[in-house]
Amino acid sequence: MRKYLRQFLPHHESVKNNRWLKPFGSWLQHPNLWHLNRRSVAGGVAVGLFCGLVPGPFQVLSSAPLAVLFRVNLPVAIFVTFYTNPFTIVPLYMLAYELGAWVSGAQNGIVVAQLGFPELHWNSWISELTSWLVKMGEPLLIGLPLLAVILAIAGYVAVRVIWRAVVILQMYSRKRRRTKP
């Protein structure tokens, strides 16, 4: 699998010689940003899952600097942010709202905003969407970062465990092949 994915990753020389990336110099030269190993891929998945809940086009713009800062796989971090898309963003935000309402205790006596998505009209969709988000208020502001941290931790642990299991299975498979008569 690593060999297959390596063909899509850029080489150090192509990154170093790219005219758009030259201003970032040594920041993009760390090996973990481009290599596929257990730590860098798990960290890239965690960064991507965390930044995937950032609103709008800022997902990629926030995942790239975090991947460089934490020295985790940059392409994986950017790719994983796309788990949020027009089909998944509303259920994820509703889950974040429910989580925030549960944590903040907003359901204990405080009127909870309607979770139904507003009917958007072409001439006023921005204001309708903004007013819908304002109604969500405090539970959403608490729930989004909390859900992002939970997803990041779960993704990191899942990749580390799955990677380790695959390595162990491969090791046993090689051992079995060597001992066969």
Count of domains observed in the chain: 1
Enter the tokens of residue 151: 């997803």
Range of the domain at 130: 2-179
Which tens digit of pLDDT belongs to each residue from 51-98? 999 887 789 899 989 999 999 998 899 999 999 988 888 899 889 988
Q: What is the pTM of this model?
A: 0.74
Which tens digit of pLDDT belongs to each residue from 95-107? 998 898 888 876 6
Percent helix, percent strand, percent coil in the chain, to nearest 5: 70, 0, 30
Which tens digit of pLDDT belongs to each residue from 102-127? 888 766 544 444 555 556 666 776 77
pLDDT at 163: 93
Within 10 A of 125 (CB to CB), how many other CB atoms are there? 12
What is the average pLDDT score of the chain? 80
